[in-house]
Chains A and B, each alone.
Chain A
Amino acid sequence: NAGVTQTPKFRVLKTGQSMTLLCAQDMNHEYMYWYRQDPGMGLRLIHYSVGEGTTAKGEVPDGYNVSRLKKQNFLLGLESAAPSQTSVYFCASRSTLAGPQETQYFGPGTRLLVL
């Protein structure tokens, strides 16, 4: 049981390049989330999904797109990367059965550097 995994672990992009971050969970969770963590800011929610085929905006969605084609995967896309998107990105998932927010399980993070 791997839990929540993220690919890649680290990436360097040039301004204007595109990329996709992959999050996968093997816990059959309905809800999935993408956060970014910046110094002095804590974690901020980018987008989330309450089920396969559905997505919604979080606190800081601009410059990102997401897709949830399969229940176990949640993709985060950057169409045209900007230096302001340099950050550590965390994916999380939780079960609807649990109810409380504490059952958000986080992946290990993806460190992205945009030059």
Chain B
Amino acid sequence: DQQVKQNSPSLSVQEGRISILNCDYTNSMFDYFLWYKKYPAEGPTFLISISSIKDKNEDGRFTVFLNKSAKHLSLHIVPSQPGDSAVYFCAASANNNNDMRFGAGTRLTVKP
């Protein structure tokens, strides 16, 4: 039972354009959401997070939007750069516990 779903396995965008990565969840108890970035042969690294009390969090070129009623969040990267090419994982947890659930990931390719 996958509680966090990333339905797009891959996404390709042109350098300078916007990248939008989507994530859906089913567990209404989730109250903290994160995005991790992963390069080949490396471990995931934290990118940005959002608490359920907010609907938007911005950090430089990265913005995460949360729609609690739709149980949906998205990561916007503007402008996209070739160095952003990686696999992006969405993750969620409830009550800041240790059982964090991950989506299957979306491979982003940014073309020069």
Contacts and interface: CB of A to CB of B under 8 A. Distances in A.
B25 interface: no
Contacts, number: 63
Contact of A108 (B32, B41, B98, B102): B41
A13 B96 CA distance: 36
A11 to B, nearest CB: 15
Nearest to A94: B98
A106 B43 contact: yes
A41 B98 contact: no
B88 to A, nearest CB: 11
Contact of B104 (A4, A42, A105, A108): A42
Interface stretch (B12-20, B44-52, B66-74, B76-84): B44-52
A59 interface: yes
B98 A48 contact: yes
Contacts of B41: 108-109
Contact of B34 (A4, A48, A102): A102
Interface in A88-115: 90, 92, 99-109
Interface residues of A, number: 28
B101 A59 contact: yes
A56 interface: yes
B99 A45 contact: yes
Interface in A26-60: 31, 33, 35, 40-45, 48, 50, 56, 58-59
Given A40-B104, A42-B4, A108 B42 contact: yes
Interface in A62-89: none
B43 A59 contact: no
Interface in B15-59: 32, 34, 41-46, 49
